[in-house]
């Protein structure tokens, strides 16, 4: 794996380069500006670019646009601060083709921040390898499954012939590639959707708020970061805040209500789609639609299984060809939990049809 680090800070170039070098099988090159990065990309082969969001000569979004236009096979991961402005720009980059982002170490223990950064970079390199394998398979016209397999259920539930007639919730789980997928999906959902939408996107704090704000601007639905004790109503799209699990429970009046929790991560994630879906399974729903979109790992599969064992559920999995990483949907498919497999550009239309809007 050849990794190109692009950052105008000499300190961060050094930190990022050293973190990449800790991953076996990698070679790292570091440059100080966007123009220098584009020159290296024109003359050499790289698998992954770690791209700083803010640079003086040419900023990250501008460099990303040129990379996507001229070197579309290269995976790009943004390196961002955790301020509101950084988060908003980073979410825009993810919607415009960046595969993922890595937060810069926050203030506090340098050693602890460096360990988190190394972990994030290992994850980014793994995703880039999967992306490269998928691209290789597609170029050979022999698509292959490259995600981690989920263990099968002892007795997989029978597939439904059609969606349930009575529905109370639309549940969505998504990870890597999610901001771009959600930017294509959420604005196409009908404003007349008769149920609330509860959504888990794997992201740290601050970034989920920016994601909600950007989706709200482009959607007829009300998209917001969830709060503890929120009473979701039709037309709401509630996104689990970074760093917290979001559950849905019945309150004393029997109404659905959100509950936020700082319980330990599940599937290495907080928020976790499994936590949300499993909490919904305990709510005695008349029915639900569960959508599993692009993402690494298998978060969501256990939750869909719990839902299907508790109430009528229709599960839509995004297809491999339109996923940035075919991990989470594949985990659902391998366990025979899907009722439909659809490309991203057909999912919103199908949801609207299921809800008859």
Q: Report the catalytic residues.
A: 175, 202, 299
Quote the DSSP letter at residue 150.
P
Quote the DSSP letter at residue 32.
S
- Calpha distance 153→20 (Å, rounded): 37
178-211 b/e with 16+ CB inside 10 Å = b? Answer: bbbbbbebbbebbeebebbbbbbbbbbebbbbbb
For 65-145, strand residue ranges (E) read: 75-80, 100-103
25-64 b/e with 16+ CB inside 10 Å = b? Answer: ebebebbbbbebbbebbeeeebbbbbbbbbbeebbbbebb
* ∠ Cα 241 103 53 (to 5°): 115
């Amino acid at each position: 794996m050849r990794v190109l680090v692009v950052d105008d800070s000499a300190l961060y170039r050094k930190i990022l380069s050293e973190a990449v070098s800790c991953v076996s099988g990698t070679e790292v090159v570091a440059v100080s500006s966007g123009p220098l990065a584009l020159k290296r990309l024109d003359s050499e082969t790289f698998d992954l670019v770690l791209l700083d969001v803010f640079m003086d000569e040419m900023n990250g979004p501008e460099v990303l646009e040129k990379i996507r236009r001229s070197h579309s096979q290269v995976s790009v991961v943004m390196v961002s601060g955790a301020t509101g402005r950084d988060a908003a720009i980073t979410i825009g980059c993810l919607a415009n083709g960046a595969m993922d982002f890595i937060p810069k170490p926050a203030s506090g223990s340098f050693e602890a921040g460096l360990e988190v950064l190394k972990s994030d970079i290992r994850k980014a390199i793994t995703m880039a390898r999967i992306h490269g394998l998928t691209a290789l398979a597609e170029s050979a016209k022999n698509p292959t499954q490259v995600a981690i397999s989920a263990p099968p259920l002892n007795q997989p539930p029978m597939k439904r012939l059609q969606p349930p007639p009575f529905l109370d919730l639309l549940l969505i789980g998504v990870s890597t590639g999610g901001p771009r997928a959600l930017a294509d999906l959420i604005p196409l959902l009908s404003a007349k959707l008769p149920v609330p939408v509860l959504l888990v996107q794997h992201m740290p704090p601050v970034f989920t708020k920016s994601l909600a704000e950007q989706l709200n601007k482009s959607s007829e639905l009300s998209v917001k970061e969830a709060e503890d004790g929120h009473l979701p109503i039709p037309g709401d799209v509630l996104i689990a805040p970074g760093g917290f699990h979001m559950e849905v429970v019945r309150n004393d009046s029997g109404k659905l209500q959100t509950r936020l929790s700082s319980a330990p991560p599940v599937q290495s994630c907080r928020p976790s789609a499994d936590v949300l879906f499993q909490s919904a399974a305990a709510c005695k729903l008349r029915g639900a639609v569960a959508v599993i979109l692009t993402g690494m790992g298998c978060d969501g599969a256990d939750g869909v299984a719990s839902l299907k064992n508790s109430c009528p559920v229709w599960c839509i999995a995004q297809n491999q060809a339109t996923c940035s990483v075919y991990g989470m949907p594949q985990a659902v498919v391998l366990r025979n939990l899907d009722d439909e497999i659809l490309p991203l550009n057909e999912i919103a239309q199908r949801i609207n049809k299921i809800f008859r809007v």
